[in-house]
Structure 1
């Protein structure tokens, strides 16, 4: 049961409804907005605090539609954060976005195995290792940084760090507030091990 009740979409202010609709359209595009899970519980929780919702979603938008990483790179990082932070809601939402980025079901499953899985390309392995490093130690090891820096520019390196940090915070909020997945997200939840 949620610790903070989400505000139902019909109770959002007109300004909040417009803001969230524009945010979802920027993330998904016109064609997918109607067919994708709406995130009513997460967005409804945020909608209860409009000032925070607008500031956070504007910042978060950078990672979802303005990031210098490829969509594939971003989603591998976010899925790894969701797995490591055991955030089922975040995992389910980003399984959908990972599919849009061309990440296969096998690769999504492999994210849980981590950077040592031999099937990863070297850069993808380094991105997953950087995620683990940041979550465990708050920094990236020299060896992993060297691998990343050989392939990525400074903006991309910054986006790696900020993507991990942002989605670790999202996972923390989702878990702390005990945000429930909507019924249309349930098929995308991680399997229990």
Structure 2
């Protein structure tokens, strides 16, 4: 599907979202400085699932045990592997505010063998690649990743990679409209 194809479920307004979803969508839109935050305007239409999914998503993105830079490294790599332009568009911007500029983003997209990555970044990218492609992480990669992350961070890495892999699949399947013209 391309970004030019119509959404399978159009972004909703107050009627479709209900009070909670509508408020969450408005806060999200304000956060990304856009009139609408399409992701919340689409998935917010599931009035039971959305309020259950949202707290975990916000925790992983803003308050998790992984640093914000580590989280963005994983999210950008997942978006790249899944060719999810919506996810990439959102997180290229957010990553810049978290210290991951265009040069580092290009290295993340290039992969774990890119020049100039730290050992920690290489471990995160390698583990993300394996997690997304093979649905697991090899023992060799796990040992390297575990040198950089605590037990809680290792658990969170798995949840974060799974969250954004599933989100990329959902966004692509529903053909959620892009929020930015670029």
- TM-score of the superposition, structure 1-length normalised? 0.84
Superposed displacement of residue 12, structure 1:
3.9
Matching residue within 53, 58, 63 for 1:56? 53
1:94 alignment partner in structure 2: 91
2:68 alignment partner in structure 1: 71
2:105 alignment partner in structure 1: 108
Partners of 2:35 and 2:166 lie apart in 1 by 20
Unaligned runs of 5+ in 1: 26-32, 188-193
Q: 1:39 to 1:143 in 2, by over 3 A?
A: farther
Asked if 1:180 is matched to 2:173, the reply is no
Superposed displacement of residue 106, structure 1:
0.8
- Higher mean displacement: 41-50 or 124-133: 41-50
Partners of 1:3 and 1:82 lie apart in 2 by 20
Partners of 2:135 and 2:31 lie apart in 1 by 38
1:6 alignment partner in structure 2: 11
Partners of 2:42 and 2:31 lie apart in 1 by 20
Superposed displacement of residue 35, structure 1:
6.0
Partners of 2:107 and 2:98 lie apart in 1 by 16
State whether residues 72 and 102 of structure 1, in contact with CA within 8 Å, keep that contact through their aligned partners in structure 2: yes
- TM-score of the superposition, structure 2-length normalised? 0.89
Partners of 2:35 and 2:131 lie apart in 1 by 30
Partners of 2:112 and 2:64 lie apart in 1 by 22
Superposed displacement of residue 87, structure 1:
0.3
- Classify the secondary structure of the residue corresponding to 1:120: coil
Partners of 1:59 and 1:40 lie apart in 2 by 18
Partners of 2:72 and 2:34 lie apart in 1 by 17
Superposed displacement of residue 137, structure 1:
1.3
- Classify the secondary structure of the residue corresponding to 2:110: coil
* Cα shift readout 1:85-135 (whole Å, capped 9, x = no counterpart): 010000000111101111011111222101111210001001000000101
